[in-house]
Amino acid sequence: MSAPKSAPQSGPILGIDFGTTNTAAAFFDRQGKLKLVSVSDKNFILPSVAWYHAADKAIVGPAARRQIIDDPRHTIFGSKRFLGRRYQSEYVQKHRERFAFNLVEGTDGYCAVKVYNRVTPLNEVAYFILRHILTLANHAAGEPFAECVLTVPAHASIRQREAVRYAAERTGLKVRAIINEPTAAALYYANLRSPEQTVMVFDLGGGTFDATLMSVQNRVVKVLATGGDAFLGGANFDECIVEHLAEEFRQQHGVELRGNKIVMQRLVFAAESVKIQLSRAEVAELRVPCITQGPDGGFLDFQFRLTRKRLEEMTSRLIERTVSACDEVLERAGLKPAQVDELVLVGGQTRMPAIRERLSHFRRFSSEKDVHPELGVAVGAAILGRNLSRPGGTGLMDVVPMPISVMLPGGVTHEVIPSNTPVPCRKSVSLEALPPGPTPLPVLVFESLDTTSVDREVLGTLQVGPEWRRGGAPRLELHMGQDFVLRTYLVGADGKPVPAPIVDASPQMRAPRAAAS
């Protein structure tokens, strides 16, 4: 399996950082100059929010974000957390009640939203957001884009990557590559630095946290180990503040706000504002007018004061989770913090002073002049896009973020591709345990950090026909390319791999993915 080939193409390749909270894009124009896609005057951040004003029509961006308070039932935000996830999964059931919009199960078993009695797949929400950033980018470039590079969290599953790819392809873009967000940030960093260095990217976004250790040499990025927490992001810090505010309001007025999704969403907005203030000041004060009705029927205002110290106390457990993840990544690579030349901070939440203080055992932090917390990932994607159109390769060597395993009939599981395996890779497992017989036997392919986990990400099933189980022990080969597309093959006695497509009901896992590379 080879890496994506660099080839001449007709125009610039757009780099898109489609985030849980915000989306940004960048590209190199025909003169080789870096361009950030402007959303409005001096603003390059597009809120990843879609407001449906009809069953099949939506606006996105700042105007949509303002509707979260006025029309929360039809305003979809933070949906990337659920994109490509099965509705019945443990994660979805745990988090779905935190949102005012109606998250439901789609006909394919994946998460969808119900707006105006229409069940809408979440990749449609992603499509609207990506289409809008593409329109802005076309205007900035003065010509339409045909190709793009997308970024995803390092711990994104194959299903989630496919869901993002599918949404981008609906806009008419060809997806040249999907790159992990920390790797994109490191590409940006490597483009600014020429010496050989070992860096760790600390990427705390709105919905996920990734810690990725990399070596940078001659502007080539090689991933050494990756880890993190797929269930930790800036939104979790907001939730701590919201819980504190709801309790404070109850004590002030004797009124319980929890359970009212619309009111709680107003507290989320307040929490975001206060959190930003406390990144710069020791104390923040805010007033939320007419937040709810009191016992006498009159409307109550909510005025509160929060200190940075109290915020740090409330979120210390979350910060420790990020530090533990960094320690685990270093341990897998056999390194100490002192051996990391620089910690590259990505994501708006890294502006929190307590996070930087807790990471003070690292030798050096990147500054915003080096890597912008909210734009560095998009720029890294643009750099990869530029590299793809040049001879000499992509400038990166990535790894598999999550183990890929198989389950044979009878429940026997085998881990085939371990996490942190360099890509591209090719691994195989013997199927000699399959008994002979006249009917095909299913082999389940799934992703999971724990092969015994009930909440594994099932990728699908492939059928091993009787002809494969006669006169020898067949092997199943899994190929993972640098595009993070999984291809599956059966290998018989002649040693020749034959494509064996994974069958899945989801339209975002479009078979066959077993085409020869």
pLDDT confidence of residue 339:
93
> What pLDDT, on a 0 to 100 scale, did the predictor assign at position 517?
33
What is the arithmetic mean of pLDDT over 227-232? 85
Q: Cβ of 504: how many Cβ atoms within 10 Å?
A: 20
Comparing CA positions, the residue from 135, 130, 136 lying closest to residue 150 is 130
What distance in Å separates the CA atoms of residue 255 and residue 247, rounded to the nearest whole number? 9
Judge whether 479 and 490 are in contact, CB under 8 Å: no
- Cβ atoms of 204 and 315 within 8 Å: the answer is no
Of 305 and 7, which is predicted with more confidence?
305
Range from 69-78, 278-287, 504-513 carrying the lowest mean pLDDT: 504-513
Query: How far apart, in whole angstroms, are the C-alpha atoms of residue 32 and residue 15?
Result: 14
Domains and CATH numbers, the chain: 14-231+325-397 (3.30.420.40), 234-313 (3.90.640.10), 404-499 (no CATH)
For the chain, the first-to-last Cα distance in angstroms comes to: 6
Whether pLDDT at 318 is above 60: yes
Helix or strand run (H / E) with residue 192: helix 181-192
Q: At what angle do helices 234-253 and 261-278 cross, to 10 degrees?
A: 110
Q: pLDDT tens across 460-470, in order?
A: 898 998 888 77
Segment among 165-179, 196-210, 361-375 with least mean pLDDT: 361-375
Read off the pLDDT of residues 262-274 as tens digits, 9 standing for 90 and up.
888 889 889 999 9
Percent of the chain residues past pLDDT 90, beyond the cut: 54
pLDDT, residue 97, reads 80
Mean pLDDT of the residues in the chain: 87
Q: Which amino acid is at 327?
A: D
What number is the average pLDDT over the span 123-129?
96
Q: Taking residues 333-355, what's their average pLDDT? A: 92
Q: What is the pLDDT of residues 19-75, one digit of tens each?
A: 999 999 999 999 999 999 999 877 999 999 999 999 889 999 999 998 988 898 999
Mean pLDDT confidence for 6-18 = 77
Residue % of the chain over a pLDDT of 70: 91
pLDDT at 256: 92
What per-residue confidence (pLDDT) applies to 453?
A: 53
What per-residue confidence (pLDDT) applies to 451? 52
Instruction: Give the C-alpha separation, 128 to 134, whole Å.
Output: 10
Cis peptide upstream of residue 424 (ω within 30 degrees of 0): yes
Check pLDDT > 90 for residue 306. yes
CA angle, residues 342, 343, 345, in degrees to nearest 5: 140
Q: Report the SS3 class of residue 81.
A: helix
Q: Residue 112 pairs with which residues in a beta bridge?
A: 104, 121
What confidence score (pLDDT) does residue 412 get? 87
Specify which residues 306 forms β-bridges with.
Answer: 284
